[in-house]
Chain A
Amino acid sequence: MPLPKPQKTLSFAESSYLVEVIKGMVLTMGHLVKNIIDQDRFRTVEYPDVRKPMTARYRGAHRLTVRPDGHVKCVACMCCPTVCPAKCITIIAGEDPSDPAEKFPVEFDIDMLRCIYCGFCVEACPKDAIRMDTKIYEINAYTRQDMVHNKSYMINLMDGLKPEAEDVYRHDPAAAPAGYTSDEEPVA
């Protein structure tokens, strides 16, 4: 067992702590002055009045995409519940006689309390039907049942976004209107 190191003996100036306290205060006041003069350097985000912009690859709440004709793109192939490590996706498949895609999800539920936001479902999807590009990170509810996001919730999560435009914005986030990056006003 190593012997404890002998403690450093403090000089008089150090043992009074006065110099050290003043040094610390200078550093603090320096930051205060800097932050007042140059507010862009201010690190703290005044959440919830101000929200940090999320990067394009941030994995937020899931949404379901729709085809130009309004049908949900998902064909209930069950790839996402199969790959999901948290087993949080429940899909009930049904048949739509009028749709050439034949199969569609009658129910599509994601239990957000179980979800670990790994994004495997997005990777596995052969139809680009599920995306986590909403940048929504405030996922909360008063009951456990409300934490289960259902099909209509996930379709309407980014309501009003045209499917065609959507693809453009995905590849060029800079061109996206403000509504795309937050959950505030939907784009008309």
Chain B
Amino acid sequence: MAKVKINDVEIEVAPGTNMIDAAQQAGVEIPHYCYHPHLSIAGNCRMCTVETETPRGPVLEIACNMQARDGLAIRTDGDRVKQVRKSVMEFLLVNHPLDCPICDQSGECRLQDYYMDHARHDSRGVEAKVSKHKRQDIGEQILLDAERCVQCSRCVRFGDEVTHTGELRLMNRGDHTEIGMFPGERLNHDYQGNLADICPVGALTAKDFRFERRVWYLKETDGVCTGCSTGCNISVCHQEGEVFRYLPRRNDEVNKSWMCDPGRLRHHEVGGLERLLKARVNGQPGDGVAAAAASIKAVGAPKVALVLGTRASNEANWALAQLGKALGARLYWVAGNDAGAIEKSDGFLMDADKNPNTLGCRLLAEQSGAGDAEALKAALPELAVVLALEDDLVTRLGQAIPGLVALAAKESPTTKAAAVVIPVAHPVEMDCTYTNKQGRVQRNRRATNPLGDAAPAYAVVDRLAAALGKSLGTQMPVVTFLALSRAVPRMNGLDYKSLGPGGKLLAPAPAAALGGEAK
């Protein structure tokens, strides 16, 4: 470990740690525009200038290009440093259009924040501001306003280093420098939304969120993207029960600071037209839980199949497995993708398996001796009731299913074919966990209340059990997860608290038990 001194505070960090990160660990914020933990160092904004102790006395250097080594001492609170920050801000704002009233970045803009924290100068400008190209449509998700840009080049480096597409470039010289693209070119990758996130100012803004809400109204809740088995960590931005955007949340082990556009746009399904809000019994509104319980009672447990869901949370799968055990019903699980899933895999974040919890479902299926898709197909003629937990079974099996009871958050071929449909909560509406393809159990928190009559799937299963005269006690996710982690050997010792913001990996599989897990 390297001992570094930041403003007289000595801390130990790993040698080679970037000094901006090291300062953060010491509780000192170093303002910066161009530095990003997951991009290369450009060192062009000069905002992170600090004083270093040298034999020649204190010297001004940029913190982002400085790696922690033993004995390094920096000061961030000297008068010279303050003057540098002030001057940098004055230069950056010389040609800034001050579009704040119409700029979507307003409220999370580094220019606004750092002006208030470090500059507070009056404009000395007498020349007219340089005008550049505004409102340029450069991609499916992104608008570019070159006037607002501070030339930090984060977007250029993102294109060069992360997507390897390199569309954006800095063009022209001096105060005419602007971000641009070659004529006729457009952004052409699935990670465009990240450009709006990494842009520290309002130059690159997201079309999807354009003029939707001011960011200071939004609350952020930690969630997990349920678009595929990668399980990118996200922040769900919501106001008064309405979800406006997903932002990637930093998790160096899963998604770094990025997420894909299809995942980002999934917030539209929370209150979308496809959303299921009311229970249906044979196409008519009715009490879904009572109808499902009645049909299960009528045919008897041996003719009932409960199908665990790869889209459902660990808690819901556990609840359903417990119900199966209590009733003596057959358990199955079916891998595959739902109708409408775009099975795109790019070897980066997007995975061909579009289910957030395939591994968790499979683990519980193996634990409870559930059969797979082939077994379910073979057993179909003997079955009278099949309960599908959030998965689109009709599409996955490719055939009609008798006595289908569907627990689902949105419409699918399965809910359309089902005799009984019970609405369940969308992932942003419940506390639960998902196990991603790495075997990382990640916590997803409730951001908004369930819409309509929906309730979290584990609570719906609990109600169904109660209607069948069984007591599962799975309505509380914390308790359900504790019971689950105690019962599943690979999850032993996990609870909601120990999962933390970044999740925890499952214990390694006993030999040959889960071969081919890292798909």
A contact set with B: CB distance below 8 Å: 75-79, 82, 93-95, 100-103, 126-127
Task: Indicate the member of B102, B134, B216 with the most A CB atoms within 10 Å.
Answer: B102
8 contacts between A and B (CB under 8 A): A76-B211, A77-B101, A79-B101, A82-B216, A82-B217, A93-B212, A103-B101, A126-B101
Contact A126 B211 (CB under 8 A): no
Residue B96 CB within 8 A of the other chain: no
B169 CB–A CB distance under 8 Å: no
Among A76, A93, A102, A103, max chain B CB count under 10 A is at A102
Give the CA-CA distance A188 to B14 in the complex, in Å. 76
Cβ contact within 8 Å between B101 and A93: no
Interface positions of B from 396 to 424, Cβ below 8 Å from A: none
**Chain B residues positioned under 8 Å from A93 (CB to CB):** 211-212
Rank and list the top 8 A-B pairs by shortest CB-CB distance, nearest first. A77-B101, A103-B102, A93-B211, A78-B214, A75-B101, A75-B102, A102-B102, A126-B101
How many angstroms from the CA of A46 to the CA of B217 in the assembled complex? 48
Interface size, chain B (Cβ < 8 Å): 12
The CA of A100 and the CA of B131, in the complex, are separated in Å by 13
Query: Which one of A79, A95, A100, A127 contacts B211 once the chains associate, using CB atoms below 8 Å?
Result: A95
Docked pose: A82 CA to B101 CA in angstroms: 13
Is B514 an interface residue when CB atoms closer than 8 A count as contact?
A: no
Determine the chain B residues whose CB is within 8 A of the CB of A94 once the complex forms: 211
State A55–B51 Cα separation when bound (angstroms): 57
Contacts of B101 in A (CB 8 A): 75, 77, 79, 103, 126-127
Residues of B within 8 A of A76 (CB): 102, 211
- Contact of B135 with A by CB under 8 A: yes
B177 contacts A by Cβ under 8 Å: no
Q: Digitize B191-215: 1 where CB-to-A-CB distance is under 8 Å, 0 elsewhere.
A: 0000000000000000000111010
* Inter-chain contact A82/B214, CB cutoff 8 Å: yes
Chain A residue nearest to B102 (CB atoms) is: A103
B100: CB under 8 A from chain A?
yes
Q: Which residues of A contact B106 (CB under 8 A)?
A: 77
List B residues 194-250 near A (Cβ within 8 Å): 210-212, 214, 216-217
Q: Please give, as numbers and ranges, the residues of chain A lying within 8 Å of B102 by CB-CB distance.
A: 75-77, 101-103
* C-alpha gap A62/B101 in the complex (Å): 20
Map CB proximity to A onto B95-115 as digits: 1 under 8 Å, 0 otherwise.
000001110001000000000
List the B side residues contacting A102 at CB < 8 Å: 102, 135
Q: Bound state CA distance, A134 and B211, in angstroms?
A: 30
Q: How far is the CA of A75 from the CA of B212 in the complex (A)?
A: 13
Q: Which of B449-496 contact A (CB under 8 A)?
A: none
Closest to B106 in A: A77
**What 0/1 pattern do residues 79 to 102 of B give for CB contact below 8 A with A?**
000000000000000000000111
A82 to B100, CA, bound (A): 15
Task: Give the CA-CA distance A101 to B100 in the complex, in Å.
Answer: 11
Point out the residues of chain B lying under 8 angstroms from A103, CB to CB: 101-102, 211
Q: How far is the CA of A101 from the CA of B187 in the complex (A)?
A: 25
- In the complex, which residues 336-376 of chain B have their Cβ closer than 8 Å to any Cβ of chain A? none
A85 to B57, CA, bound (A): 53
Residues 16-37 of B, flagged 1 when their CB comes within 8 A of A and 0 if not, give: 0000000000000000000000
Q: How far is the CA of A42 from the CA of B135 in the complex (A)?
A: 62
How far is it, in angstroms, between the C-alpha of A126 and the C-alpha of B99 when the chains are bound?
11
What chain B residues lie within 8 Å of A82 (beta carbons)?
214, 216-217
Bound complex: CA A77 to CA B214 (Å) = 8
Which residues of chain A come closer than 8 Å to B100, judged between CB atoms? 77, 126
Shortest distance in angstroms between A34's beta carbon and chain B's nearest beta carbon?
56
Give the CA-CA distance A127 to B217 in the complex, in Å: 21
Q: A101-B102, A102-B135 are in contact. List 6 more A-B contacts (CB 8 A).
A: A78-B217, A93-B212, A102-B102, A103-B101, A103-B102, A103-B211
Known A-B contacts A79-B101, A127-B101; A95 and B216 likewise in contact (beta carbons under 8 Å): no
Counting chain A CB atoms within 10 Å of each CB, the highest count among B134, B214, B217 belongs to: B214
Report how far A100 CA is from B210 CA in the complex, Å: 16
**Taking the nearest CB of chain B, how far is it from the CB of A82, in angstroms?**
7
Shortest B204–chain A CB gap in Å is 15
| Cα–Cα distance between A77 and B112 once the two chains are bound (Å) | 15
Most chain B CB neighbours (cut-off 10 Å) among A93, A94, A95, A101: A93
Counting chain A CB atoms within 10 Å of each CB, the highest count among B101, B134, B212, B217 belongs to B101
- Set of chain A residues within 8 Å of B135, measured between Cβ atoms: 102
Q: How far is the CB of B401 from chain A (nearest CB, A)?
A: 44
- Report A-chain residues with C-beta under 8 Å of the C-beta of B210: 95
In the complex, per-residue mask of B135-151: 1 if CB is within 8 Å of any chain A CB, else 0: 10000000000000000
Minimum C-beta distance from B239 to chain A (A) = 12
Q: Which residues on the B side are within 8 Å of A78 (C-beta)?
A: 214, 217
Q: Give Cα A78–Cα B101 distance, bound, in whole angstroms.
A: 8
Complex interface: chain B residues within 8 A of A95 (CB): 210-211
In the complex, residue of chain B having the shortest beta-carbon distance to the beta carbon of A92: B211
